[in-house]
Structure 1
Amino acid sequence: MTRDKALPERVHLKAGRYYLVTAAGKKRIWRKLTRVSEGLPALYTALAAALADGAVDDRMPALISLWQREVGNRHKPKTQANNDSRLRVIAHSFAEFRAGQVEAPDVAEFLLPFRDKPRTHNQYRSLMRELMRFAIEKGMRRDNPVQDVIRTMTEAPRTRYITDSELRRIKVGGIYGDDGKRTRSGLMLAALVDMAYLTGQDIGMLLALRWSRDPDDPAVPYVGDAGIFFRRSKVASTTGAAVLIAWTPRLLDVVERLKRLRAERMLKKRASQRVVTEYVFTRQDGLQFTYSGASTAWKRAVKRAGVPGVMFRDLRAKALTDKERLEGMQAARDMGQHSTDSQTADYVRLRSGRSTKATR
């Protein structure tokens, strides 16, 4: 089999005949077109007919749907939730495009509205690059118009530090609604916020936390006798670093609150309605607290508290900042499961200018 680069995309030459090659999952489907001896005009006529018959749907919305089924669904729930909304925007913006028609100027024009938001710009760029890579894999195009052409934007490091007072207000904002009554998820959110600050872990790790060790997957975070065990998935294939957050009175208090919440919810449910799960953070129905649910509860709490410009990930920065101030960089590095001081330094926020003596 040979592949002539002068031929249309997905058209291959084999044993004196042209074929249209498409993908169905991991399987390659070879559809006969014409013999080489019939000439190129006959090839293009047969190719147009094959595409018109729906031999392959290479429109961008179809490509996105295929990518979500084959690639996107393997990502973590948090990543999937973030990607879903962006993919809808991309599908709408490129609805009239086929995968092979997207060029660098089209991507640049699409990204133009995000030029004042470097982080958002880079997230959309990354998704477009991945979609174009996937299109190449599926034989829908030959090159990637994003890779090495569309540059990433420099993102200014976050400097937001959540004060202790702001943290208390956010928890209160989560527990009590606009009507002054307790919210359904408020106490669980308050415990999640406290756990994030006391352990320095991100929301994905916390939502995966279980009441006991999983013998089939020891890397899953769990509550143990000596403390709470975490191993970040980002380092699983590199340093493999793990950390045991030893018990302190405040951390024990959070766990006891969670146990009481669990027991109270079980009592309120009839035996036939009870859902028993190993997850520490759960919804009212007993199922695992999802990323989207936790994110929504957090945003509402922040709004009620009137605390501007904060994200849940700022709790990790606050934890490592306070840890560095109290116990030094190595302690903060251990908590963050980082392999270098510079990685930890990205999280340590200067709450006020450092003081020093004059030169002389």
Structure 2
Amino acid sequence: MKKRSDLPKRVFIKNGAFWHVRAEGTKRKWTRLCAARDGLPAMYRALADLESQDLLDDSMPKLIGDWLRDVGSTHSKKTQANDAYQTRVIGEGFAEFRASQVRAPHVVEFLKDFRDKPRTHNAYRSMLRELMRYAEERGFREPGTNPVDSLRTMTTKARRRYITDSELRRIKVGICYGKDGKRTPSGPMICCLVEMAYLTGQRASDLLSMEWSEIGKDGIRFQPGKTLASTGVEVLIGWTPRLERLVARLKAFKHSNVRYVFCKQDGQRYTYSGAVTAWKRGLKRAGIPDTQFRDLRAKALTDVDAKRGIMDAQRMGAHSTQAQTAEYVRHKTAIKTKATK
């Protein structure tokens, strides 16, 4: 159940559905948006459709609603949730604009609020650029007039966090056992997810969509979601004794869902938010700060690079260039070399 603070203004949850409430004199008009089980992305799309009914076709709120329907709906559920939140903020900031009226200074003014958060600044810049591209596609702007193209992205510091082997063990203990020292219901499965992330070096989204049919006699086959629209490369992670033991533990879980590997006790597959919430609870119990789930991928590629070289790390990461792999590799100690002469 979503908290009220998670919802936009005038949206409430009632009787298992999202509702929009609008004042009409002394009365309140309740409009059903969608079922609560459909999630926030569906709610935001329905809300955008509702609010854009009386708007001009090229108004920014209407444009955003159309983009969510035509483009955003093709994205993964995790990306749709991010899209919905970002476009909501942009829609409020450009509520009075038509698509043809947006200029670079307007975008600069909007992005000022995010100058102390470079990654957030760049994410909103990217979304605005995509919306203006869509406006060109719809004929609301002349081709080549995207006002965001001339704006620079902010420099972001490279993430250098490396999870040590000791920290990884402590994180697993924190996930498996609550403050009372008893094993948590979700602990064993989330620990397996953490172990799989480290042993395979794959992203959380690809692990959570992992199916039993992808596990074969030669290893585990992954089709990274980020490569589907580009290289389409697949990764086959060959068996090691540790990986075999992990899969044996996973097979020991009894679930009604025989399709997906990582499931809750009721047999439903884990969502990204559910898995990350369990991960964060484990970190808190272990007392380990400044650590993200994606740091497991960095640890995996770093360890592979140290043991088998950058080429193997590149293969595991499904990267088309070594430069991409180098962004993940964390140097635990200074790089050693000899003097020129």
How far did residue 239 of structure 1 move? 4.1
Judged with a 3 Å threshold, the aligned counterparts in structure 2 of structure 1 residues 248 and 160 are, in CA distance, closer, same or farther, namely same
Separation in 2, partners of 1:310, 1:55: 44
Equivalent of residue 223 in structure 1, options 209, 212, 215:
215
Residue matched to 2:50: none
**How far has the Cα of 1:202 moved from its partner?**
0.8
Which residue does the alignment assign to 1:13? none
Counterpart for residue 49 of structure 1: none
> Among 250, 258, 263, which residue is 1:258 paired with?
250
Q: Which structure 2 segments of 5+ residues have no match?
A: 1-52
**Residue 208 (1) aligns with residue 189 (2):** no
Who is 2:291 aligned against? 310
Opposite residue 326 of structure 1, the aligned amino acid is K
State the match for 1:125 in structure 2: 125
SS in 2 for 1:228: strand
Deviations 1:139-171 (A, max 9, x none): 334464433222112222211111112212222
Identify if the C-alpha distance between structure 1 residues 236 and 139 changes in structure 2 by more than 3 Å, giving closer, same or farther. closer
The alignment's TM-score, normalised by the length of structure 1, stands at: 0.73
1:161 partnered with 2:162: yes
State how far apart, in whole Å, the 1-side matches of 2:305 and 2:316 are. Answer: 10
Structure 1 residue 316: Cα displacement:
0.9
Which residue of the partner structure matches residue 198 of structure 1? 199
**1:198 Cα deviation (Å)?**
0.2
From 261, 279, 286, the counterpart of 1:298:
279
- Partner of residue 74, structure 2: 74
Q: Quote how far apart the aligned CAs of 1:125 are.
A: 0.4
Q: Note the C-alpha offset of 1:300.
A: 2.6
The CA distance in 1 between the partners of 2:99 and 2:281, in whole Å, is 39
Contact persistence 2:133–2:146 (CA under 8 A):
no
Cα contact 2:67–2:131 (8 A) shared by 1: yes
CA positional deviation for 1:236: 4.1
* SS of corresponding position for 2:212: coil
Q: CA deviation at 1:208?
A: 1.6
Higher relative contact order (CA 8 A, sep 6+): 1
Deviates more, 1:93-102 or 1:73-82: 93-102
How far off its partner does 1:297 sit?
A: 2.1
CA contact (8 A) 1:172 1:301 kept: yes
Amino acid at match of 2:198: Y
Let me know the Cα RMSD of the aligned residues: 2.3
> Which amino acid is 2:122 matched to?
N
The alpha-carbon deviation at position 97 of structure 1 amounts to: 3.1
CA distance in 1, matches of 2:335, 2:309: 15
CA distance in 1, matches of 2:159, 2:199: 20
Task: Check 1:162–1:58 CA distance in 2 against 1; reply closer, same or farther (3 A cut).
Answer: same
Q: Please say if residues 77 and 291 of structure 1, whose CA atoms lie closer than 8 Å, have aligned partners that are also in contact.
A: no
Question: 2:163 aligned with 1:171, yes or no?
Answer: no
In structure 2, relative to structure 1, the CA distance for the partners of 1:113 and 1:227 (3 Å cut) is same
1:55-106 Cα shifts (integer Å, max 9, x gaps) = 7354433322221111111012232232222222222323333333332222
Q: State whether residues 257 and 263 of structure 2, in contact with CA within 8 Å, keep that contact through their aligned partners in structure 1.
A: no
Amino acid paired to 2:335: R
Contact 1:277 1:288 in 2 (8 A): no
TM-score (norm 2): 0.77
SS at match of 2:124: helix
Structure 1 residues 203-212 or 333-342, which shifts more?
Answer: 333-342
Matches of 1:210 and 1:180 in 2, distance apart? 32
| Alignment partners' CA distance in 2, 1:284 and 1:99 | 48
| Structure 1 alignment gaps of length 5 or more | 1-52, 213-221, 267-274
User: How much does 1:210 deviate?
Assistant: 0.6
Q: 1:56 to 1:357 in 2, by over 3 A?
A: closer
CA distance in 2, matches of 1:245, 1:105: 49
CA change 1:83–1:307 in 2 (3 A) is farther
Identity in percent: 57
Q: CA deviation at 1:112?
A: 1.1
How big is the shift at 1:358?
Answer: 5.3
Partner in structure 2 of residue 343 of structure 1: 324
Matched-pair contact (CA < 8 Å) for 2:129–2:149: no
The correspondence of residues 250-289 of structure 1 with structure 2, limited to 5 A, is 250-261=242-253, 263=254, 266=255, 275-289=256-270
